[in-house]
């Protein structure tokens, strides 16, 4: 066992996190679910979603057999919705190809939907005690600082260096404590800002601390211009007071969720009314335009220009591609968080 690994294990035993809802279990389903939810999401945000998800889908078979809309509804608000779609596909694939039993080997796990090399290693280590290196965001930060690895860690050359280093540090035993310890150290001590270096079990060999470059590492992602996409979104209310929503396509922005119908950002009132009639067989009365709402995705900024409307008539094809959601259902419907906030904020006062 390397001295680095030994100190991480000893620290985790005393100071690491031991009471998270997915800990103290070897159940690969719960470990896998937590690892997917924790991708690009903070622990405090994940915990209530994880607990609701487990209550709704207690095991792999329950998740695999659930309708997609139920899965998306349970995930709604957590963001990065491709994770939920891949989660559902992965459960179905494990049931179909592996008889409902998680494969133990990292190579097999990494081939499943939504599970990459690091997540596969975390599942293998924590569920099965397999000796495998992880490299999530927290672990990258620990290794980059401790060994003063320069360059953006997302670049392939730097990433290869990190994987080599991560594998060289693996202990021959106690892989679970070491894996959890690395994640805990990055999350609670070697934080992105204001790291608590005095509490770090490997601070005396940390190159960044010795060279006083902690605030410069890891190197930030190279700056790039974020493109802007704009659209008019329409909140239509029928005579019962329900909002009419579209089911988004399975892939792409908010795939598999309910959302407001979209139109071109510069569409005129007449163009929107005509498009609604052609698309849904509805006659509507538009209200005044509202302000813009900006939502940042990873690769672009989405600018929504919300409009409200009241349904005043319909043809024979009305509602064929729309879902009716009553006001009391807005909190639980499978809606993207920005759309849910918009509708709850509006309370659709112009339509009452």
DSSP 8-state code for residue 18: -
For residue 263, give the 3-state DSSP assignment: strand
Q: Which of 35, 225, 288, 331 is catalytic?
A: 35
* Cα–Cα distance for residue pair 250/288, rounded to 1 Å: 32
For residue 305, give the 3-state DSSP assignment: strand
**In the structure encoding, which two tokens stand for residue 118, read together?**
């690091």
DSSP letters for 225-256? ---EEEEEEEEEE-TTSPEEEEEPPSSSTTTT
**CA atoms within 13 A of residue 50's CA, in its CB half-sphere:** 22
How far does CA 187 lie from the centroid of its chain? 17
Is 327 labeled as catalytic in the residue annotation?
Answer: no
Q: Are 196 and 29 in contact (CB under 8 A)?
A: no
DSSP letters for 267-297? --HHHHHHHHHHHHSEEEEE------EEEE-
Residue 292 exposed, middle or buried by CB count within 10 Å (0-12, 13-18, 19+) = exposed
CB neighbours of 251 closer than 8 A, spacing ≥ 6? Answer: 82, 85
Q: Are 89 and 32 in contact (CB under 8 A)?
A: no
* Cα–Cα distance for residue pair 320/316, rounded to 1 Å: 9
> Which positions are annotated as active-site residues?
35
């Amino acid at each position: 066992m390397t001295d680095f690994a030994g100190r991480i294990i000893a620290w985790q035993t005393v100071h690491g996190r031991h009471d998270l809802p997915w800990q103290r279990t070897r159940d690969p389903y719960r470990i896998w679910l937590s690892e997917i939810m924790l991708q690009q999401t903070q622990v405090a945000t994940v915990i209530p979603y994880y607990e609701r998800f487990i209550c709704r889908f207690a095991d792999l078979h329950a998740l695999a057999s659930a309708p997609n809309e139920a899965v998306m509804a349970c995930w709604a608000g957590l963001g990065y919705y491709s994770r939920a779609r891949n989660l559902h596909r992965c459960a179905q694939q494990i049931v179909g190809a592996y008889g409902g039993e998680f494969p133990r080997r990292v190579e097999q796990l990494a081939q499943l939907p939504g599970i990459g090399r690091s997540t596969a290693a975390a599942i293998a280590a924590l569920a099965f005690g397999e000796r495998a290196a992880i490299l999530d965001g927290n672990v990258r930060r620990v290794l980059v600082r401790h060994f003063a690895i320069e360059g953006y860690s997302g670049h392939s050359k730097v990433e290869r260096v990190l994987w080599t280093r991560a594998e060289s540090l693996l202990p021959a035993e106690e892989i679970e404590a070491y894996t959890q310890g690395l994640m805990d150290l990055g999350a609670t001590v070697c934080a992105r800002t204001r790291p608590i270096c005095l509490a770090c079990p490997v601070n005396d060999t940390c190159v960044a601390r010795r060279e006083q470059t902690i605030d410069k590492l890891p190197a930030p992602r190279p700056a790039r211009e974020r493109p802007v996409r704009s659209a008019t979104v329409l909140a239509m209310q029928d005579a019962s007071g329900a909002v009419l929503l579209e089911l988004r396509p399975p892939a792409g922005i908010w795939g598999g969720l309910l959302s407001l119908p979209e139109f071109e950002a510069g569409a005129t009132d007449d163009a929107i009314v005509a498009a609604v009639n052609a698309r849904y067989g509805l006659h509507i009365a538009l209200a005044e335009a509202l302000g813009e709402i900006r939502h940042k995705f990873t690769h672009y900024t989405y600018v929504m220009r919300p409009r409200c409307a009241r349904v005043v008539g319909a043809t024979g094809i009305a509602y064929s591609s729309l879902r009716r959601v009553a006001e009391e259902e807005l909190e639980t419907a499978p809606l993207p968080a920005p759309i849910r906030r918009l509708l709850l904020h509006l309370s659709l006062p112009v339509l009452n």
